[in-house]
Structure 1
Amino acid sequence: MFPPPTAKEVVEKTVAEFGRLDVLVNNAAQQHMQTDFTKIDPAQLVSTFSINVFGYFYMAQAALPHMKEGASIINTSSVTAYKGSPGLVDYSSTKGAQISFTRALSNQLVSKGIRVNAVAPGPIWTPLQPATFPGEKLEKLGDSVPMGRAGQPCECATCYVFLASEDGSYVSGQTLHPNGGVVVSG
């Protein structure tokens, strides 16, 4: 069934509990290492896009009827949207789709006073990393960024707080990059 009832249920429970909905943070993803592009099977592709892209659409669609002027939608993307990752082709593709989704939805909602932005972290120590990478690759997580280390979730948190707050009231359609100093464009 599309969209899944989960998005609507989550939004309805939130509104019932708090009486309103001011901020939506889309932050769900899966990634699977696959160094041979031809071995990304259809089931993996559908699953990755379903969670990483379709889920963002469904949550925003469920939330919008409850959001008023001044509200904010923040989509979590990744540095891979800008530089790609040879072992994460399907994941990188979904992250690029999230950036395009952010920009397009921002253009549509700006006249309603609802801001839409993204955060595109670099290597961050989250449960997604050990679930994806083998030990030897995990040990080197973050070594390739200019700061020479992986970041911590708290080093991304201020990006979300800024975009959700009144301090970010003049920012929409943009992406913040807590990524250890990797210079990206686009």
Structure 2
Amino acid sequence: HLIDRLLAGGLLPRGSAIGFISSAAGLGWEANLPVLKEYLAITDFDEATKWAVENGKADYMWSKQAVCAYVATQAMPLLKQGIRINAICPGPTDTPLAQTNKETWLGFGADYRAELGIEAATSLEQAYPLLFLVSDAASAINGITIVTDSGYFSAGLTEVFPPATPIVRFLSGR
């Protein structure tokens, strides 16, 4: 809705870039692409909400898969207008909200970070890749969702860090 309004108002001229923040929870979106495209085709907020509830998709994972699918499906149409779109999927980030739910939000991947001797990312550390994606330095990058989790997802996918493998397989739909 916001992007459509900005486009209609001429507020996203050629050379603009859009940056989204998704989540690793959205990384299995490719397996659900036909249903996601159906959902994303609904332009009315109330109708989209109704569809999500009626189809059992009114949850965090679905909303993040929708973000990832939106970025991928809109990359070409937006680039025809000279506008790029990309996203990041951050790992645990130490924010005030995360601190209020520390065990849930910062507990994820804590074993991985402990083994590496690193901390959860700061907001600024997550902002840097997003700022890169919307900068001219990333002009060749479009329609991509980059995982910014200090390598947790890759380590689980490749079984380099076996404790991450089951959740990574689940999140990626493998």
- Scaled to the shorter chain, the TM-score interval is 0.5 to 0.7
1:180 aligns with 2:150: yes
Describe how 1:18-167 pairs up with structure 2 within 5 A: 58-64=1-7, 65-82=10-27, 90-131=59-100, 133=101, 136-137=103-104, 140-145=107-112, 147=116, 149-167=119-137
The 1:136/1:66 distance shift into structure 2, 3 A limit, reads closer
Q: How many residues align?
A: 123
Deviation at 1:136, TM superposition (A): 4.3
Deviation at 1:99, TM superposition (A): 0.3
Choose 106-115 or 142-151, whichever is displaced more. Answer: 142-151
TM-score, structure 1 length as denominator? 0.57
Cα-Cα RMSD: 2.6
Using the alignment, how far apart are the partners of 1:118 and 1:161 within structure 2? 10
Q: SS at 1:177's partner residue? A: strand
Deviation at 1:145, TM superposition (A): 3.8
Greater share of helix: 2
Deviation at 1:83, TM superposition (A): 6.4
Deviation at 1:128, TM superposition (A): 3.1
Structure 1 gap segments, 5+ residues each = 1-57
TM-score, structure 2 length as denominator? 0.61
The 1:136/1:102 distance shift into structure 2, 3 A limit, reads closer
Deviation at 1:78, TM superposition (A): 0.7
Identity %: 28
Using the alignment, how far apart are the partners of 2:106 and 2:86 within structure 1? 31
The 1:172/1:128 distance shift into structure 2, 3 A limit, reads same
Using the alignment, how far apart are the partners of 2:106 and 2:139 within structure 1? 39
Q: SS at 1:116's partner residue? A: strand
Letter in 2 for 1:109: L
Q: What residue number does 2:43 align with?
A: none
Q: SS at 2:59's partner residue? A: helix
